[in-house]
Structure 1
Amino acid sequence: MSLPVDLAHERADAAAPEVLWLDTPDRPEPRPPIGDATADLVVVGGGFTGLWTALLAKEREPERTVVLLERDRVAEHATGRNGGFCEASLTHGEANGRDRWPDEYDELERLGLANLDAIAATVERYGIDCDLRRTGQLSVATRPHEVDLLEPGTPGFLDASAVRALVDSPTYLAGRLDAEGCAMLDPARLAWGLAAAAEGLGVRIGEGTGVRAVRRDDRGVELHTTHGVVRARQAVLATNVFTSLLRTMRRRVVPVYDHVLATEPLTAEQLASIGWAARCGVADSGNLFHYYRLTADDRILWGGYDAVYHFGRSISPAHEQRAATHRVLAEHFYETFPQLADVAFSHRWGGVIDTCSRFCAFFGTARGGRVAYATGFTGLGVGASRFAADVALDLLAGEETERTRLRMVRERPLPFPPEPFAWTGIQLTRWASARADRTGRRNLWLRSLDRMGMGFDS
């Protein structure tokens, strides 16, 4: 390592405990809460899934009245705290998709690419300034046993010299560039732009409006909130990890904390020392993986690796800053880019995401088919959330579509066990995954989870 460990730790500790994307004077002012109201459709959740649902609902049926309720602020949680990787994959990567739905994977891939194209078209149509760039994503091997995962000898494989010509790190042994399947963007600005576009079509958005209960009535559903009662014919729950409104979802999702660092803006000389002219996103190939990218002002956003589950499915603001994880991320950053030993970190943050045992979103209805939901994205929701919104609206309409016919849409993941078994199993899985990264071999525990279709990831 080119930088002493204690200095790497000092730099992580010195970073501002703020989310880079939200730390801007351009963040919109909070919208007022909504009290008693009626609508054709009410959407719960002001993240990507909820915003896409509200916007697409109005695009499908302009006369439909739509209300969106957000407990905190638009883009406050996973939507505004992620890395800004907008991937085409609907299945948390090709390997997971092919393992679980081999017969329909080609269709899932086609739908995912079409969904990514539709996101780009929406950004252009509504003039959303979110720095969307179709740069693709580079997967890199940093251990000898990971090279085979990138399929040497096939088109797109990059040996060590070729991958280092794209992004120069002495840790890279091989790589593969997916030029079409991923875009980089500013996730908070995309969310704010989607909210403005939805409002432009007539959607009412209330922030600071928590939903306490969803009940069925003769005309549809009643949503009891912190400010009144909202009545609607139908509802979509886009609450992701916050699943308390539907008991049936609670054991199928667990909260996981992901942590991120961002550097100060790189100088032209610093940027030249690592190349990266293509500005593609990068992810390494380990089970405990890092993801990283350049921002519009040439910072490096560096996150991932240490997915943290807190006993009892605990969700708390106190979990968002975790010095041990941020320090490990700092160590790994300087190991990857020793030529950037003089670069400091400006921001550090963490946030909760929803993970399920199949690693990608699942869908369903409740309350006699009047409520639809989508949850369990496991960290790849920036792109898949738009697809999820389409699925939820299809389900409410009772339509058989190319989406609702998919096994991936019709099936549910296996639930996680209750405590203390959930915590014990997750810790064992994390230990086994780290060991597999070092050795290249999956032990009996991981192989057993593979056979059961179970897992834990972020």
Structure 2
Amino acid sequence: MASAAMNFVRSLSDAEPRPYWLDDPGRPKAQPALVGDEQCDLLVVGGGYSGLWTALLAKERDPDRDVVLVEGEEVGWAASGRNGGFCAASLTHGLGNGLSRWPDELKELERLGHANLDEIQDTLTRYAVDCDFERTGEIDIATEPHQVEELREAAADIERLGLGGHEFLDRDALRAEVDSPTFLAGLWNRDGVAMLHPAKLAWGLKRACLDLGVRIYEHTRAGRPVTSGGGATVRTPYGRVRARRVALGTNAFPSPVRRVRPYVVPVYDHALMTEPLTEEQLAAIGWKRRQGLSDYANHFHYFRITADRRILWGGYDIVYRFGGGVRAEYDYHPDTYRTLAEHFFRCFPQLEGVRFSHAWGGAIDTCSRFSAFFGTAHSGRVAYALGYTGLGVGATRFGANVMLDLLDGRQTERTRLEMVRTKPLPFPPEPLRWAGIGITQWSMTRADQRGGRRNLWLKAMDKAGLGFDS
């Protein structure tokens, strides 16, 4: 037993403590910082997906609109360059979450989500963004007997709603797709998820924005908007920007709109990347159709194959620090990497001897309803979209359109949605926040160990609308 434990720990000995996606010789050079004063029609704060999509769509809607984007570090350096590369059609963090919160408009949300994913694919083609986009779908996997029934119920809900595009896989059918002794059943969302290289997506959107005339300033931190007249002024370290409208894509970092800060907490997710697999190693596990995979536990793993035949293996632990700070030292968490490595070889014992090349982490902007919320401030001159909870690769484009609708004062099919018009419950202040998240994490672990049975705490959270189910 000790020898086996040391084997999986040795697999981490050469792992670089940085995101695999950003460790790329093709990483573009940063744009210069803003020095002096700027004026524009729209200022976008944040150079992740949320900000990049907002800037791009603003120029597509009105090519004459003058757009400036400022980013405190470099475009794509935070969540947009660290995630697993699962680009989902879902706007609600999965069908179950959407069904529990917005059952009357779920079919509309699913329609809009799939249209959004189609438009992402069209945009990547139009601007020649090479980010290894593959619309392979994703399989939710049961690894415990009670999860098999949960997947059957989910498949029945999909059929009842007439949504289609999903296939239930029994144990043999699933293991014919990807072979693991831990797999018992699966639900394959065939067309609603694409795999991609997340950093290359951010870099490609950056180039497209520049080509359309967006002025991008990196290493330029933005202060709080101060409104006067018909616009807002945002100070930066070496200057300021005067804009008619401001869109905030700040993700897990403290929002410049202070009143929305209680709605979001930063939690840390971590991932490993293997070395490239040989043809023999790939043949041992199958996985020829390269679907994204995630297991169906509360503390779940997500995993996928990259274009260069590596396996990304992430998830399980979600780490919250007292006070909710976002700090670089939180990105690296060896205890989680040990756990992830152990679980990887339990899932794929055929890959014994494979080593990990990279180990990293980053902050996720989590809200209590697990899907984005939206709003305006400063008399409608500032808009924000927050709370994507780890499923923002695709949904941030939808959120960008919502922010632009709100800033333009337009009533659209998006702004009429209950999901867009309402907000989640805020998190309590410390120390109640830290204690509540800790109790919830413990309860979710217990539920995974007890056949999915949720204790009184989780049931109370469900009833309150907090719904900690993933």
Report the alpha carbon displacement of residue 314 of structure 1 after superposing the two structures with TM: 1.8
- Pairs within 5 Å for 1:91-110: 91-110=92-111
Counterpart secondary structure, 1:393: helix
Q: Distance in 2 between matches of 1:160 and 1:386?
A: 36
Structure-2 residue corresponding to 1:145: 146
**Gap change, CA 1:2 and 1:396, over 3 Å in 2:** farther
- Pairs within 5 Å for 1:115-134: 115-134=116-135
Report the alpha carbon displacement of residue 456 of structure 1 after superposing the two structures with TM: 5.0
Structure-2 residue corresponding to 1:64: 65
Q: Distance in 2 between matches of 1:16 and 1:167?
A: 27
Q: Distance in 2 between matches of 1:25 and 1:337?
A: 31
Alpha-carbon deviations, 1:180-225, whole Å to 9, x = none?
1100000100110001001101000000000122110113000011
- Pairs within 5 Å for 1:82-97: 82-97=83-98
Structure-2 residue corresponding to 1:257: 268
Work out whether residues 301 and 313 of structure 2, in 8 Å CA contact, stay in contact via their aligned partners in 1. Answer: yes
How high is the TM-score relative to the length of structure 2? 0.96
Give the one of 213, 226, 234 matched to 2:245.
234
Structure-2 residue corresponding to 1:9: 9
Q: Distance in 1 between matches of 2:227 and 2:290?
A: 49
Report the alpha carbon displacement of residue 11 of structure 1 after superposing the two structures with TM: 1.9
Work out whether residues 135 and 183 of structure 1, in 8 Å CA contact, stay in contact via their aligned partners in 2. Answer: yes
**Gap change, CA 1:102 and 1:260, over 3 Å in 2:** same
Report the alpha carbon displacement of residue 244 of structure 1 after superposing the two structures with TM: 3.5
Between the aligned residues of both structures, percent identity stands at: 58
Work out whether residues 48 and 191 of structure 1, in 8 Å CA contact, stay in contact via their aligned partners in 2. Answer: yes
Q: Distance in 2 between matches of 1:240 and 1:291?
A: 21
Unaligned runs of 5+ in 2: 157-165
Q: Distance in 1 between matches of 2:138 and 2:378?
A: 40
Question: 2:444 aligned with 1:443, yes or no?
Answer: no
Q: Distance in 1 between matches of 2:326 and 2:442?
A: 22
Q: Distance in 2 between matches of 1:420 and 1:170?
A: 42
Q: Which runs of 4+ in 1 moved over 3 A?
A: 152-155, 455-458
Report the alpha carbon displacement of residue 2 of structure 1 after superposing the two structures with TM: 12
Report the alpha carbon displacement of residue 359 of structure 1 after superposing the two structures with TM: 0.2
Structure-1 residue corresponding to 2:161: none
Report the alpha carbon displacement of residue 7 of structure 1 after superposing the two structures with TM: 2.1
Work out whether residues 11 and 354 of structure 2, in 8 Å CA contact, stay in contact via their aligned partners in 1. Answer: no
Give the one of 406, 417, 422 matched to 1:411.
422
Counterpart secondary structure, 2:337: helix
Counterpart secondary structure, 1:213: coil
Structure-2 residue corresponding to 1:429: 440
Structure-2 residue corresponding to 1:372: 383
Q: Which amino acid aligns with 1:23?
A: D
Counterpart secondary structure, 2:323: helix
- Pairs within 5 Å for 1:16-415: 16-35=16-35, 36-151=37-152, 156-415=167-426
Q: Distance in 2 between matches of 1:151 and 1:195?
A: 42
Aligned residue pair count: 458
Work out whether residues 461 and 468 of structure 2, in 8 Å CA contact, stay in contact via their aligned partners in 1. Answer: no
Question: 2:465 aligned with 1:453, yes or no?
Answer: yes
Counterpart secondary structure, 2:253: coil
Work out whether residues 3 and 338 of structure 1, in 8 Å CA contact, stay in contact via their aligned partners in 2. Answer: no
Counterpart secondary structure, 1:384: helix
Report the alpha carbon displacement of residue 3 of structure 1 after superposing the two structures with TM: 7.5
Work out whether residues 13 and 323 of structure 1, in 8 Å CA contact, stay in contact via their aligned partners in 2. Answer: no
Aligned-residue Cα RMSD (Å) equals 1.3
**Gap change, CA 1:140 and 1:3, over 3 Å in 2:** farther
